[in-house]
């Protein structure tokens, strides 16, 4: 069975990165007899759809020309409570992305809110096969909630899943979300007040092997797709062994170790970072100056 059919599975932890803090701190009713003639409500939608140099300004009128999906839906929050129950009408996110050339299976879609919140969606979320569709339903940009439109709907437009059973549970979200993008609740997968929709090419890596970053009681698993979304560096390098030989010369591509740690914490000058291999035995420690080298250290070691 494919990953799509079985959902995403957690992989093996390949490296553990722990930050050791040197100081020891862990971190009324009225009746109108003659109603005035008013134009129908138009809604307020201004969403930028972006795919490289292709851009499209999506407004309410254009949304109404796209295929519409209507259904009852709701989502679970991290406490297991149900929120957002109601009837949603929206255009499939796939139809909106098609306005700027669509997406490939190795692309991601980033949906951004006006307040800076965002979510990533994969090809399987936008173009679900029968297995995914049974769990998550259709992913839409909703422009109506319980017969309201964005002018009177505080959360709209909003990305929303409309499953057949009308209930997008935490388990549904877990099964249809890459673990890099799942943070414990189905509600987190819905983006309110959508401002832009962007196709990010060639960054989706389905692998679930990961690095665990630890700072006291705070942990985060970092996956290859996370690495792909971060600034990458590529360079010819190698190391000398105790016999004086150079066994691993080659071109390496990666991300800064400091950038990985900064996903959950900041590093103080007197902190030590321990990096542990997947065997749980081999370990190396790095100081602040290794991760943030000055010009002299950089001349000797380069980037870590």
pLDDT (tens digit per residue) in 97-109: 999 999 999 999 9
Residues 171 and 258 in one domain: no
Residues 193 and 214 in one domain: no
pLDDT band for position 304 (cuts 50, 70, 90): confident
For the whole model, what pTM was predicted? 0.82
Which residues are registered as beta bridge partners of 70? 89
Q: Do 127 and 94 touch, CB atoms closer than 8 A?
A: yes
User: Residue 2 has what pLDDT?
Assistant: 40
Distance spanning both ends of the chain, measured CA to CA: 39
DSSP single-letter state for residue 3: H
Given the structure tokens 């839906």, which residue do they identify?
A: 73
Residues 105 and 194 in one domain: yes
Domain region containing 68: 46-200
Residues 18 and 149 in one domain: no
Residues 31-73: tens digit of each pLDDT: 333 344 444 444 567 999 999 999 999 999 999 999 999 999 9
Provide the domain count of the chain.
2
Q: Which two tokens stand for residue 214?
A: 């630890």
Residues 141 and 87 in one domain: yes
Q: What CA–CA distance (Å, rounded) separates 73 from 88?
A: 7
Residues 194 and 236 in one domain: no
Q: What CA–CA distance (Å, rounded) separates 187 from 129?
A: 22
Q: Do 150 and 60 touch, CB atoms closer than 8 A?
A: yes
Q: Which residue has the higher pLDDT, 30 or 58?
A: 58
**Residue 229 placed within a domain:** yes
């Amino acid at each position: 069975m494919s990953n799509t059919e079985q959902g995403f599975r957690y992989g093996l932890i390949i490296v553990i990165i722990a930050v050791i803090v040197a100081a020891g701190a862990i971190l009324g009713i009225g009746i109108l007899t003659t109603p005035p003639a008013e134009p129908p409500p138009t809604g307020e939608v201004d969403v930028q759809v972006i795919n490289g140099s292709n851009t499209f300004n999506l407004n309410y009128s254009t949304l109404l020309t796209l295929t519409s999906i209507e259904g009852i839906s709701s989502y679970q929050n991290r406490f297991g409570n149900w929120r957002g129950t109601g009837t949603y009408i929206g255009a499939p996110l796939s139809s909106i992305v098609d306005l700027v050339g669509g997406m490939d299976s190795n692309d991601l879609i980033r949906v951004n809110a006006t307040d800076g919140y965002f979510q990533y969606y994969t090809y399987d979320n936008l173009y679900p096969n029968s297995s995914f569709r049974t769990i998550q339903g259709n992913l839409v940009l909703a422009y109506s909630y319980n017969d309201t439109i964005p002018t009177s709907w505080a959360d709209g437009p909003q990305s929303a899943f409309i499953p057949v059973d009308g209930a997008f549970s935490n388990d549904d979200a877990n099964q249809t979300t890459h673990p890099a993008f799942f943070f414990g609740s189905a509600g987190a997968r819905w983006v309110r007040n959508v401002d832009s929709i962007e196709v990010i090419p060639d960054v989706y890596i389905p692998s679930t092997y990961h690095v665990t970053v630890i700072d006291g009681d705070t942990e985060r698993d970092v996956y290859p797709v996370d690495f792909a979304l971060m600034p990458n560096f590529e360079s010819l390098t190698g190391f000398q062994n105790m016999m004086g030989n150079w066994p691993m010369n080659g071109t390496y591509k990666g991300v800064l170790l400091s950038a990985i740690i900064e996903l959950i914490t900041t590093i103080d000058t007197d902190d030590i970072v321990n990096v542990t291999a997947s065997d749980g035995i081999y370990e190396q420690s790095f100081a602040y100056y290794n991760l943030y080298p000055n010009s002299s250290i950089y001349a000797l070691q380069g980037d870590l």
